[in-house]
Structure 1
Amino acid sequence: MNWDDFAKWGAKFADWAKSYHETIRDRPVRAQVAPGEVFNALPVTPPDTGTDMEEIFADFERIVMPGITHWQHPRFFAYFPTNATPPTVLADYMIANLSAQCMLWQTSPAATEMETRVLDWLRQGMGLPEGFHGVIQDSASGATLAAVLTMREKALGWAGNIEGLPGQKPLRIYASSEVHTSIDRAIWISGIGQDNLIRIPIAGAQRGMDPAALDAAIRADLDAGMVPAGVILCVGGTGTGATDPIADCIAVAKKHGLYVHVDAAWAGNAMICPEFRPLWDGVEHADSLVFNPYKWIGGQFDGSVHFVRSPEDLTRTLAISPEYLKTHGKDGIINYSEWSVPLGRRFRALKLWFLIRSYGLDGLRGRIRNHVAWSRELHDRLAREPDFEIVTPPMWSLWTFRYAPEGAEDLDALNLRLVNAINDDGRIYLTQTRVDGALAIRFQAGHFDATREDVMMAYDVICEIARGLR
């Protein structure tokens, strides 16, 4: 393909994208293929000669599209969405076209300086104080790993990267049972070890960490000669929207001199709306926090916003500067590769710049408020149905329920049948979780272009298919 062909196909791809989003409601939300179907449709050996784009695109439609679960579907109520908005799709197009490697200021000054400015816009929009500084990580997992590594280094007096962990006293990290599994992975990768991730009991309707139990666990570890290193708090956990009492837990952590990281990967988006901020009161005293703009405000995967109070601690943990990565003759610059685990960096800030300028914070706030209101309306309707029970109440736009008709014996099996039948039906997509050991079905609304009608359709589908199981 040459650049003349590229221009022709670029126009065709744009038309295809427009049609895809305009007709997406006609498609089943979850892919309906059987395991191995796509794999077996692909040739066993690679082509030795080039293929015409007409044939490649025809095969894309024939082979790829049937195997796609449509994360851009307005009735995607599973997990959390990865919203693709028109301005961010165009921005991603430009990011790919420029293909800039934005690891250093000098390798693309615009990328570095835009990242600094746009993340400060988000800091202001979320009501965070000026003491926070932002960096875009590849994912919330990457941000959490960076936070855990910083906890490790601070607790070891900055000796871990040099001396390693053998011979050191065991480090301890504290989190509730509701945190995302990315925390477990960060503990593994950092070398701290799964046995040193201490699960603190939860309490209350928000299923948050018990501050008194946190304090007792830290004291017990100190008495046992271990080294408490940090606390990871949760705002809007994936399973049920669990949210720790941030202020009280940070007060305990700071009393013991521990680093605090807040995982608000989904619910952090809602904090651009002032009325939701009481749910994370005290967050201004955290050492770092992360949220994923693509999960709610349309920031387009990938790219997670990681705010830190002390960039110096982060760069002391992660920065390494051989001569070929040094920028000479320039003062006051930021090299964001020193704030991240990967050296390579895409121009992700461009997506956020296009997004915020296109919709404004008020436009983004309106969508979040609608999703919360519609989700709670659906919750109230289903709660009035005699065969259903609410398991956990709404946290923002996320809640869980269970089908529990009179006389049913194995509710776990019944609800697993229900969620599978709903997803096989294709009109909506839901996922399950476990609450206190029992299976429950999750619902969350968060697709950028969802309407009230999309959300209310879930009521009809859930009730229809549940009663069909009898």
Structure 2
Amino acid sequence: MSGHMTPEEFRAYGKRVVDWVADYLASVESRPVRSPAGPGDVRSALPAHPPEEGEPYDAVLADLERIVLPGITHWQHPSFFAYFPANASGPAILGDLLSSGLGVQGMVWATSPACTELETVVVDWLAELLGLPGHFRTDAAGGGVIQDSASSASLVALLAARHRAGGGPGRHAIYVSSQTHSSLERAGRIAGLGTGRVRSVDVDPRTLAMDPGHLDSLIREDAAAGLVPTLVCATVGTTSTTAIDPVPRIGAVCREHGVWLHVDAAYAGVAAVCPERRWINDGVAEFADSYVTNPHKWLLTNFDCSVLWFADRVPLVETLSTLPEYLRNAATLSGEVIDYRDWQIPLGRRFRALKLWSVIRWYGAEGLREHVRLGIALADEFAALVRADERFEVLDHHPFGLVCFRPLWNGLGAEEADEATLALLDRLNDSGELYLSHTRVHGRVMLRLAIGAPATERRHVRAAWDRIRAELDRR
């Protein structure tokens, strides 16, 4: 076997691959949710050395079934509840296939005008669907860009904020809470803020939301000490419990002190596609300098697709723009086009807009709303089932698709109860029938059940609850 795959060969194998994916999605419910593979199982089943001569693609597909698939945890399984969903809908998969087939490297407008201009339209569409402010549009002062993840988006926002704030190296400080995603702390390290420059703001003990009063105190203390308060991250839907920071009050503090406000709505932001959930945008139009949400979590678009918007793109472009001779071209020099290389960390970029474009066009606003509403409704039903069982307690705050709950373990101390909860979690996940995760709230272990996979129906949520109660009874 040698040489390039011919168009005829690609057509034949491509049809088989599409059929394989369709069969996989149709049968995923029959598989154990979490992979039963142990450490090293997949590696030991693979050859230690690459083949000297090419192999037929049939061999690749055979090893996919024999070796790879047993090592897959099935994120598209309707009983996958462990983490926020990573949706892989049909239109998104096809959009990704088109992107791979075109093989575009869209670093500048000139390398494929459609790659840039379709993205500008799609991020503007999404801003409209979510009810975000007009100045976030690419035909206004700000604009949006598709990043690979909210982690990269946070770093990009921090770099823009640091540029706007000025000040010398090691003098910048950023402000997060114990509930803020860890990517913000990592962004601080990568950006060279230095040890101790990532400040932890207190949270309300009841809601776990950031305390604006303590934020104000920390900013004043740092400014008095000669530091440069640079960025505050407010979260709408924290990873642990989907807590919501008070963006309007935090924004007022930021405006008073001239600090950049970054709003992280990675998971929950897409819920604003439903008009009745637009309250999650409170304060964004008035105060947010940057805002991120991930269609690749709950909006039926497969990973990676994270959209980052800016109220004013000037600090972003000024801090990231470079123009070596080999990238100089008439369109860039004219100033009439967007070069997205200046809006992200890497130079190169895939044609990610194709999959988001495919999703929005296939589902339409109503289809997207229906998906989000179903997840919220099923989460409400599950929370009601837990609340009705006196052996459990449920965290009251669950405005989206995540429910946090725990068995009460009457008669056990706190540490013993936490150990019993984690043991219950292990037994549930080992069963292969469902997959949950856990967190800690006020120091106590709680189980997390996150709903949002395209295939999840009411019967799957009911079955999960029955399995949880049955496993508790076996103790």
- What stretches of structure 1 move > 2 A for 4+ residues in a row? none
1:347 aligns with 351
Q: CA deviation at 1:86?
A: 0.6
Give the distance between the partners of 1:434 and 1:193, measured in 2 at CA: 28
Contact 1:187–1:194 (CA<8 Å) still a contact in 2?
no
Contact 2:382–2:461 (CA<8 Å) still a contact in 1?
yes
Relative to structure 2, which stretch is displaced further, 272-281 or 17-26?
Answer: 272-281
1:57-456 matched pairs, under 5 angstroms: 57-132=61-136, 133-156=143-166, 165=169, 170-203=171-204, 205-284=206-285, 285-328=287-330, 330-409=334-413, 410-456=416-462
Letter in 2 for 1:125: L
Q: CA deviation at 1:58?
A: 0.9
Q: What is the TM-score with the length of structure 2 in the denominator?
A: 0.94
Letter in 2 for 1:262: V
Q: CA deviation at 1:392?
A: 5.0
Give the distance between the partners of 1:372 and 1:427, measured in 2 at CA: 22
Q: CA deviation at 1:248?
A: 0.4
List per-residue Cα deviations over 1:221-240 (Å, max 9, x = no partner).
Answer: 12222211111111101100
Give the distance between the partners of 1:50 and 1:392, measured in 2 at CA: 58
Q: CA deviation at 1:124?
A: 0.8
Contact 2:392–2:406 (CA<8 Å) still a contact in 1?
yes
CA 1:184–1:392 in 2, change beyond 3 Å: closer, same or farther? farther
Letter in 2 for 1:6: F
CA 1:392–1:239 in 2, change beyond 3 Å: closer, same or farther? farther
Letter in 1 for 2:32: P
CA 1:365–1:205 in 2, change beyond 3 Å: closer, same or farther? farther
Give the distance between the partners of 1:206 and 1:307, measured in 2 at CA: 27
Give the distance between the partners of 2:60 and 2:283, measured in 1 at CA: 53
List per-residue Cα deviations over 1:401-452 (Å, max 9, x = no partner).
Answer: 1112322331111111111111111111111111122211111111123211
SS in 1 for 2:207: coil
Q: Figure out how many residues of one structure are paired with residues of the other and give that number.
A: 460
Q: CA deviation at 1:393?
A: 2.7
SS in 1 for 2:110: coil
Contact 2:179–2:238 (CA<8 Å) still a contact in 1?
yes
Give the distance between the partners of 2:163 and 2:41, measured in 1 at CA: 47
In structure 1, runs of 5+ residues without a counterpart are none
List per-residue Cα deviations over 1:322-367 (Å, max 9, x = no partner).
Answer: 1221221555111011111110000001111111000001100011
Letter in 2 for 1:281: D
Letter in 2 for 1:291: T
Letter in 2 for 1:178: Q
2:464 aligns with 458
2:140 aligns with none
Give the distance between the partners of 1:375 and 1:26, measured in 2 at CA: 23
Contact 2:402–2:450 (CA<8 Å) still a contact in 1?
yes
Q: CA deviation at 1:43?
A: 1.2
Give the distance between the partners of 1:27 and 1:465, measured in 2 at CA: 20
Give the distance between the partners of 1:193 and 1:243, measured in 2 at CA: 28
Contact 1:387–1:403 (CA<8 Å) still a contact in 2?
yes
SS in 2 for 1:92: helix
Letter in 1 for 2:330: H
Q: What is the TM-score with the length of structure 1 in the denominator?
A: 0.95
Contact 2:243–2:397 (CA<8 Å) still a contact in 1?
no
Letter in 2 for 1:184: E
List per-residue Cα deviations over 1:25-59 (Å, max 9, x = no partner).
Answer: 11111101111111111111221111122222111
Give the distance between the partners of 2:299 and 2:99, measured in 1 at CA: 19
Relative to structure 2, which stretch is displaced further, 392-401 or 295-304?
Answer: 392-401
Q: CA deviation at 1:204?
A: 5.7
Contact 1:211–1:252 (CA<8 Å) still a contact in 2?
yes
Give the distance between the partners of 1:344 and 1:369, measured in 2 at CA: 36
Q: CA deviation at 1:172?
A: 1.0
List per-residue Cα deviations over 1:353-402 (Å, max 9, x = no partner).
Answer: 11100000110001101110111111110111121111453131112111
Give the distance between the partners of 1:295 and 1:375, measured in 2 at CA: 16
Give the distance between the partners of 2:473 and 2:323, measured in 1 at CA: 63
Letter in 2 for 1:438: R
Contact 1:239–1:433 (CA<8 Å) still a contact in 2?
yes
Give the distance between the partners of 2:135 and 2:290, measured in 1 at CA: 11
RMSD across aligned positions (CA): 1.3
Letter in 1 for 2:424: L
Contact 1:145–1:190 (CA<8 Å) still a contact in 2?
yes
Letter in 2 for 1:309: A
Q: CA deviation at 1:202?
A: 0.6
Contact 1:30–1:70 (CA<8 Å) still a contact in 2?
yes
Give the distance between the partners of 1:190 and 1:151, measured in 2 at CA: 11
Relative to structure 2, which stretch is displaced further, 404-413 or 361-370?
Answer: 404-413
Letter in 2 for 1:29: V
Letter in 2 for 1:120: D
